[in-house]
Chains A and B, each alone.
Chain A
């Protein structure tokens, strides 16, 4: 018995020596100051019907930060993201348990209107989904449903939003052309401009770059850095380099397999400053994932 107990730490040490270190500058802060909390999630679980998709999610997302959700497929990152602006209400049978607060108010209280929530918490999807309308009408769509009819005001919003999304120079001469005629990267930036046009408080991004080439991805990452001072961003990404490049904090999710009922449930494993998650992970599963040993 005594011998075995002594062997365990030795094995762990050997493993750690083999693991390659990710290229995180040593100067990156492992602890960062916390701003105002935007979302405060405590012990939340998400269900689709009887199926528990994600469990034990507790995290706080802070103002003017970029928070990345990473983890293997099926770990529930997107589900958690979609519960933050109640997009999962649209899926029949989806429900949430636990305490989810947005700026102090309970998101799932019975008197909270999902549309009012979504007007403050916008979303950019994995696949660019411009409306089959002109570029102008795509961006003006949100302001219009909020009751802005004044042409001059709309012009101003469209120009500001497209500039924020770094798309203005490319489309200013074809605002009246179809939004579907844009390239993949342009279409995604159009969707970002459309989201920014309603001046949301938070922008949720669900793998916004997964269908884009590195140049288009780089543009969107630059734009995220630029708008960070005005918005709070939560991004789901499969690309760990992207998480290290853009995010201040990272949440790592993993999958728990129940061998008996053969079900998979997502779980939040570790949440902390990005530099700490990638450079000094406290959980073995996080370490295995960020170093590429687990898919």
Chain B
């Protein structure tokens, strides 16, 4: 029983007093669960719908066949192979450009130029860049690259890299900022130079968060459509040369197929959507595993 006795022998009630205190707790609990459900509904709806509509389209041929059929053809002819390869190539190269640049930028801002003019400028500009709409990034690459060198997967990579860069800088910066100063001091006290301190203590301490932030940026970029429309055009055959000639990607194929009236194209769009979700999901899992691996000494 939640009743104690005080020194005078009188009972002392240890239970939560009924009334407004308890009611508030109940209201807030209900609100929290409700918000959780509200967030969950669209996610579950998207997943269930895409899976239900797309699963029937997925088979080995769909994922690997190197010819995307014309819209009028029914499901079962050709496949999305060129788009799968295009998406992996284009996002992969974008990651190769944006992640090193972004992490180095964050290292500069947090470890080197923090309070200086250049450091603050880089931080401010990357925040501004976060707000640039993806279609504007596509147009930007179109005018400075595509007009001079033609359509290519690489042009698409550049557009995606521009989108990923501020996200990578921001997430890496936040992670580096969390590294306690006492670790830097400990390293300096052993006679380490600034570069050593950064490379052997600061970055390893933050690497888990940096990697997962970078992979989240990659997963987002993999689903971008607008910047690719201006930069890679579209093809129906696999173009494994990233650096020249038009290319294609899952996101642009979803756009092209879903907007056409044919049954086969619609099914292909759902299939491509499911494939894209699967790729993003795989990246998320990879991010978790990598993070766990890199942070095994941090607790």
Residues of A participating in the B interface, judged by any CB pair closer than 8 Å = 85, 87, 90, 92, 115-120, 122-123, 125, 127, 129-134, 141-142, 144-146, 178-181, 191, 194-195, 198
Contacts and interface: CB of A to CB of B under 8 A. Distances in A.
B189 A92 contact: no
Q: Chain A contact residues: over half helix, strand or loop, or mixed?
A: helix
A191 B185 CA distance: 12
B205 A118 contact: no
Nearest to A123: B189
A133 B182 contact: no
Contacts of A142: 190-191
B190 A191 contact: no
Contacts of B192: 115, 145
Interface in B187-205: 187-193, 196, 200-201, 204-205
Contact of B296 (A92, A123, A146, A178): A178
Q: Which 6 A-B pairs have the closest CB atoms?
A: A119-B191, A123-B189, A129-B182, A178-B297, A142-B190, A132-B298
6 contacts: A123-B189, A130-B186, A141-B200, A145-B190, A180-B297, A195-B189
A123 B184 CA distance: 13
Given A131-B183, A178-B296, A178-B297, A118 B188 contact: yes
Nearest to A137: B297
A119 B188 CA distance: 9
Given A145-B196, A178-B297, A179-B297, A127 B191 contact: no
Given A120-B191, A194-B190, 20 more contacts: A87-B185, A115-B193, A122-B189, A122-B190, A123-B185, A125-B185, A129-B183, A129-B186, A131-B183, A132-B183, A132-B295, A132-B297, A141-B187, A142-B190, A142-B191, A144-B200, A145-B191, A179-B297, A180-B297, A198-B191
A180 to B, nearest CB: 6
Interface string B196-220: 1000110011000000000000000
B190 A119 contact: yes
A115 B196 CA distance: 11
A195 B187 CA distance: 10
Nearest to B298: A132
Nearest to B207: A132
A170 B183 CA distance: 23
B274 to A, nearest CB: 39
B190 A132 contact: no
Given A118-B191, A145-B196, A133 B297 contact: yes
Contact of B190 (A116, A134, A141, A178): A141
Contact of A85 (B180, B189, B204, B297): B189
Contacts of A145: 190-192, 196, 200
A144 B204 CA distance: 16
A196 B62 CA distance: 63
